[in-house]
Amino acid sequence: MPQPRRPRGRGVWLLAGSSDARSSGYAGAVGAGDESIRVVGILGAGRVGLVLARLAVNAGYHVLVAGSGSPGRIASQVAALGPAATAAEASVVVRESDAVVLALPLPRYRDLPVEALRGMLVIDAMNYWWEVDGLRDDFADLRTSTSEIVQGFLAGSRVVKAFNHMGYRDLDDEARPAGASGRKAIAIAGDDAGDLAIVARLVDAFGFDPVVAGPLAEGIKLEPGAEAFGADVDAVELRAMLDRFPASQRGRMVARARGIRPDAPG
């Protein structure tokens, strides 16, 4: 008789001690977050990776973080997040996590372990920032969002774009419990309604109102050059920014590149 598949990360979760992991922040949000995600993996231990790790810890998740090198190089920064966060090799992060956040420089996406990530929910927080990443025709091509490029590479993974448009300091400062006044919003884009729902719950658990921008192709509305890039606003204002995109200069350029009528919806 087939056995139910053991959830990823279960072993790490039990080793870490769920009661400790749930003792900080608005831990009550975990159940509200998503029961299918217990361990959040983060690839990239820089500015945004460590902030997202902190938000995940505060939300009651166990968190595994990898940088580009050995875990020892980031051990002290990750230890500062508390006992629910652990520095690990990237291979361990991927194997033991229920969802993996990409918080590395976009050009490094080709380093990602395609096979190990097969079937997994992958949350793409990366941007094409040409001043840092260098001029790249593929990332600058308006016919394709950068998350579609990542999805094309990780063909067997379920990529959802999230957490890319807000600066790391704002992400760090603005997390609030659900219903708090002035709560800010994070836009998400993805092709699968179920995965969008999971990531929406994660965004909520991290302290933000989720706003669905559309499928992965619409992730371009969240990229540098779009009004929503850099947005540190509430859900109503973020929705308005996304709705204004088609009429914006950037939106018209995207429509032209994609052969879409400028007055077409979306």
Distance CA 24, CA 32 (A): 15
185 binds ligand NAP (CB under 6 A): no
Site string for ligand NAP, 94-113 (x = CB under 6 A): ---------xxxx-x--x--
User: Is 68 near ligand NAP (CB under 6 A)?
Assistant: yes
**5 DSSP 8-state letter:** P
Q: Closest CB to ligand NAP among 150 and 242?
A: 150
Contact call for residue 18 and ligand NAP (CB under 6 A)? no
Q: Does residue number 90 form part of the binding site for ligand NAP (CB under 6 A)?
A: yes
30 or 139: CB nearest ligand NAP: 139
- Smallest gap from Cβ 47 to ligand NAP, in A, equals 4
For the beta sheet containing 121-124, the strands, ordered from the edge strand earlier in sequence to the opposite edge, are 85-87, 62-66, 39-43, 99-102, 121-124, 158-161, 185-190, 209-214
- Torsion over CA: 52, 198, 148, 209 (sign): negative
| Cβ-based burial of 146 (10 A; exposed 0-12, middle 13-18, buried ≥19) | buried
Please state whether beta strands 62-66 and 39-43 pair in parallel, antiparallel, or not at all (unpaired).
parallel
Choose one: 22-30, 41-49, 231-239, 255-263; the region binding ligand NAP (CB under 6 A): 41-49
The size of the interface with ligand NAP (CB under 6 A), counted in residues, is: 25
Task: Please tell me the distance from the alpha carbon of residue 130 to that of residue 142, in angstroms, as a whole number.
Answer: 14
* Cα–Cα separations (whole angstroms), residue 252 to 147, 220, 225: 20, 12, 12
Angle, CA 61 vertex, CA 57 and CA 63 arms, to 5°: 70
Q: Which residue is nearest to ligand NAP (CB)?
A: 46
- Candidates 43-51, 214-222, 241-249, 251-259 — which segment interacts with ligand NAP by CB under 6 A? 43-51
Residue (7 or 46) nearer to ligand NAP, CB: 46
Binding of residue 46 to ligand NAP (CB under 6 A): yes
Contact between 153 and ligand NAP per CB under 6 A: no
Closest CB to ligand NAP among residues 108, 136: 108
* Angle subtended at Cα 77 by Cα 72 and Cα 80, rounded to the nearest 5 degrees: 120
Residues that bind ligand NAP (CB under 6 A): 43-49, 66-69, 90, 103-106, 108, 111, 125-127, 129, 164, 167-168
